[in-house]
A and B are shown apart, each in its own frame.
Chain A
Amino acid sequence: MKSAVIVFPGSNCDHDMLRALTLMGHRAEFVWHKTGNLSGYDLAALPGGFSYGDYLRAGAIARFSAIMKAVADFAAKGKPVLGICNGFQVLTEAGLLPGALLRNQNLRFICRPVYLRAENLRTRFTRAIQPGTTLKIPIAHGEGRFHIDPDGLKQLQDREQIVFRYANARGETDPGANPNGSLDHVAGIINREGNVLGMMPHPERAMEAILGSEDGRRIFESLSA
């Protein structure tokens, strides 16, 4: 599998993403945002960071990069697009995923491991996850509070587009397990077609036990399966 790791000015999880993909046996390459072409790639990964300094809103400027036209075409062809953290913010700003990410409810930048409950194991990003397990994966963001209007939320719920929810270690979505105040505990969503996934937690930082968790591998294994 040949993967593109898209690099914007201010991306800072691009090397982690490249390493994670390489660990999982992908041929992964950096693709600079001024490139307008993703032909030959099987996966487009939008990494975390602070593209364009988060000016105006997180992801608001990056969505106008030349590469985003290519990402939209790539997604329209049904190819997988994975947006992590700032990558998720860029995908919502670009309209490739619904909703928006707002300032965390407690106004703090939160950097710590959280537990995720995978809600839909039939996606190409989650099929390697064992039912009934939680994933321990770190978050690192100041603007991760998912918001959408009530109709939009209902559509996400009805179509099983909410792929990950913040939970406790037992997989229960109690209020204390929602780090940023996200609506309905949303940590990650998928588009209606099932090929564009955005999530705030960082699976690429949970690839090796020595770093605290290797649960992030399940997502990359799903993609390779």
Chain B
Amino acid sequence: MRVAVKVRLKRSILDPQGKTVQQALQHLGFEQIREVRIGKLIELEIEEGQSREKIQQMLEAAGRKLLSNPVMEDFEIEYPGELP
């Protein structure tokens, strides 16, 4: 099963990369785009046959311990079907 972990900077933290991209979009004429914030999408392939609860616990631990830095980032887990 393929699961995605989305990691993004906390709202309270300035994202200069997003701001620069937003300005570039403005220059291209995409003037309706008011704000851009850039994060990371981490895709994980997970062994089948485990309960959703167990996977959720594991991914929360992985997100907290390594995939995000809780000082500056939040993360969200997305399961198949929830993915676009």
Residues of A within 8 A of B (CB): 56-57, 60, 64, 92-93, 98-100, 102-107, 147-149, 181
Contact = CB atoms under 8 A, between A and B. Distances in A.
B79 to A, nearest CB: 22
Contacts, number: 32
Given A105-B14, A105-B16, A147 B72 contact: yes
Contact of A103 (B16, B67, B69, B71): B16
B69 A181 contact: no
Interface of B: 9, 13-14, 16-17, 20, 66-67, 69, 71-72
Contacts of A148: 71
Contact of A181 (B14, B66, B71): B14
Q: Dominant SS at the B interface?
A: mixed
B71 A99 contact: yes
A92 B14 contact: no
Nearest to B12: A149
21 contacts: A56-B67, A57-B69, A60-B66, A93-B69, A98-B71, A100-B69, A100-B71, A100-B72, A102-B9, A102-B13, A103-B16, A103-B17, A105-B14, A105-B16, A106-B16, A107-B16, A107-B17, A107-B20, A147-B13, A147-B72, A149-B71
Nearest to B9: A102
Given A56-B66, A60-B66, A147 B71 contact: yes
Given A56-B66, A92-B71, A104-B16, 5 more contacts: A56-B67, A105-B14, A107-B17, A149-B71, A181-B16
